Structure 1
Amino acid sequence: MKRNNSTAVHALGSTPWAHWILAVMVVAWLTPTLMLFVSSLRPVDQMMTSGWWTAFGQPGQFTLENYRTVLASKGIGTGFVNSLLITIPSTILPIIIGAMAAYPLSFFRFPGRKAIFITIIAMQIVPLQTVLIPVLLTLKGLRLNGTFLGIWLAHTAFGLPLCIYLFRNFFAQLPYSLIEAAKIDGAGNLQIFVRLIAPLSKPAFASLAIFQFLWVWNDLLVALVLLGDPALSPLTVRLSSLLGSLDAGWNVMTPAAFSSLILPLVIFVTFQKYFVRGILGGAVKG
């Protein structure tokens, strides 16, 4: 019965109707992105008097002046650099720490191992908003509030439960005989992790890197609370400030919004095959 059901699902996915439905979904998802990109290249007078689709009839009137204005005088260029400075370490740190923490939870046997894992799962349920004030007070006590190091540590702490959970589930699928064979050959735990476990877990690393990168890149609340210095504000904070500005018209908001969108889009498209493999791998066995 199970085999017949899977065969029916596979046959349904191979029908032309399924392809058409997927095509419609792709077009529906890409149309707003295309609209944003085309509008960001149009002069402001045309943007206010005609629809974005009319620009294809006059492709010679596309201009980069909107991007020059936004990147130079509106601080979006500085915000883009700040977002990179915040996001890259905040992505690398929880992934490395989470993978190293998941290794003993997956392959070692010690008292309280299941309790620790259940606690990690429970930490994912705690809303981020409920711990922001204690985190801010802790960073103030350490004199790290308003610094890149402080927000790196905050994002690392917020991202660790999911990283440990998914890594532990992914590692649990690897055959323990590989670990035993490596130990017989004289390899230590660090060598096993670096040379054996990490190369076999590339899909999990890639999927978590996408998750963490997108979450930190699109974060507004944590950056707004923990970074008090406007010079350190990332792209999201600068975009939110532009929304309340009197001189922020469509010619400013469209290139600014597309500038914040392009990098996550490129990263997701580049690593999407690892993303799917990593998520499915971490969801099979708990």
Structure 2
Amino acid sequence: MIKAQKFTVGNAIKHLIVLTFVVLWTLPTAGLLVSSVRDADQLIVSGWWTALVPTERNEAHRTQSADAQVEENGMFRIDGQLFREGSGRSVVAWGTGPRTLEEYEPGGTWERDDGSRITIESDGSYTWLSDEPFEHTRGIRLFYIAAIPPRFTLANYERVLEAEGIGRAFINSVTVTLPATFIPILIAAFAAYALSWMTFWGRTFFLAAIVGLLVVPLQMALIPVLSTYNWLGQTWISSLGWEPRSYLGIWLAHTGFGLPLAVYLLRNYMVGLPKEIMESARMDGATHFKIFISIVLPLSIPALASFAIFQFLWVWNDLLVAIVFLGQGEGRTVLTAQLRELLGSRGDNWEILTAGAFITMIVPLVVFISMQRYFVRGMLAGSVKGG
């Protein structure tokens, strides 16, 4: 039977603080999603929080020429429409100039100096009446405030994926991220088991070196690693027919940068596994490889998933390593690099930037939300267990 939690002021404050942080974390994501599906015209003039209410915009429309007039009961009239059919817009107010937009309400009539009369209705239809035939070759301009109803569309995503190169960059990011996540996990799992349950010369030294590598910034290691990589590329990598700046290069780079943390986390987790299980397996004649495959790996799923999320998010959001080791160009540009190009070339097109940004972050969101329980368990276990 589940006992109901007693209400206290402390619990209420705690829940309120947690709720506040959840809202603050979720609000920017929700705003980005709403902005990415809004109509481009509305996105320019109003914020995402007004997406469900009509927005107002100052506009102008030129009437038809005298060729469109018709005679009716001795009167001459020109009929027209300010809005295209099906737009859902309506007139809030209108006037005779850009500075007198609220001079008339819908249904009001403007008495012109030449004796003609113009009436604009709320649906955007207007009528221009005159006792004398119209002779103008060019219509006059009508100024009004239009109420634009909320409009949502997926056209922003279609344009970004097809015309702006985000679709190809998405595939490139997937091609980079999946192997760059799997390879270091595979290597680190074997290394962590060896450092935890195998006795060999220099084990303490290797463990200390791994811990020391954790404090080395990537930016500091980038230049010597790149120099070595370029030297290898000019010698034997090119002789094998491989291109130095390729997917293989960036996989190796991310593997090297991610291995210290991976080995450290997995080793701290594996060393805390029950010693009795390992001894029983050895008494039954199991080899280290058998113990690793049959016992240690299944028990280490939380730690493996924890680092997988860490590495996946790091590689997916990476820009520096991708530019240095993979470069840019058709078939190479990853999502972060493509989004940076859009920011430079399409900085005024908010509908494109928001759609591209949401595509960039949707995969990490799905991965993290679906595996967050493993992430918390693995990180806590890897941080407190050791020996």
1:119 partner letter: A
Query: Any idea what the Cα deviations from partners look like across 1:72-112, whole Å, max 9, x if unmatched?
Result: 01110111110000000000010110010010100122222
Partner of 1:81: 171
Larger Rg: 2
1:213 matched to 2:312 = yes
Q: Is the 8 A contact 2:347 2:353 kept in 1?
A: no
Partner of 2:52: 56
Match of 1:32 among 28, 40, 59: 28
Partner of 2:252: 153
Query: Any idea what the Cα deviations from partners look like across 1:1-55, whole Å, max 9, x if unmatched?
Result: xxxxxxxxxx999711111110011011111101100000011100011121121
Which residues in structure 2 correspond to 1:181-220 (within 5 Å)?
A: 181-220=280-319
How well do the aligned residues superpose, as a CA RMSD in angstroms?
A: 1.8
| Cα distance in 2 between the residues matched to 1:39 and 1:246 | 16
2:275 partner letter: Y
| Cα distance in 1 between the residues matched to 2:336 and 2:9 | 39
Q: Is the 8 A contact 1:203 1:278 kept in 2?
A: yes
1:274 matched to 2:270 = no
Which residues in structure 2 correspond to 1:1-286 (within 5 Å)?
A: 15-57=11-53, 61-140=151-230, 141-142=232-233, 143=237, 144-231=243-330, 232-246=332-346, 249-286=349-386
Query: Any idea what the Cα deviations from partners look like across 1:177-211, whole Å, max 9, x if unmatched?
Result: 21111122122111111110000011001100000
Q: Which moved more, 1:191-200 or 1:58-67?
A: 58-67
1:71 partner letter: L
Between the aligned residues of both structures, percent identity stands at 50
Please state which structure has a larger fraction of its residues in helix: 1
Structure 2 residue matching 1:61: 3-state secondary structure: coil
Q: Where does the alignment leave 5 or more consecutive residues of structure 2 unmatched?
A: 1-6, 55-148, 238-242
TM-score (norm 1): 0.92
Q: Is the 8 A contact 1:242 1:248 kept in 2?
A: no
TM-score (norm 2): 0.68
Structure 1's consecutive aligned runs of 4 or more residues displaced over 3 angstroms after TM superposition are 11-14, 57-60
Offset of residue 145 of structure 1: 2.8
Query: Any idea what the Cα deviations from partners look like across 1:212-261, whole Å, max 9, x if unmatched?
Result: 00000000000011112412111011111111115651011000000011
| Cα distance in 1 between the residues matched to 2:153 and 2:303 | 41
Q: Is the 8 A contact 1:12 1:18 kept in 2?
A: no
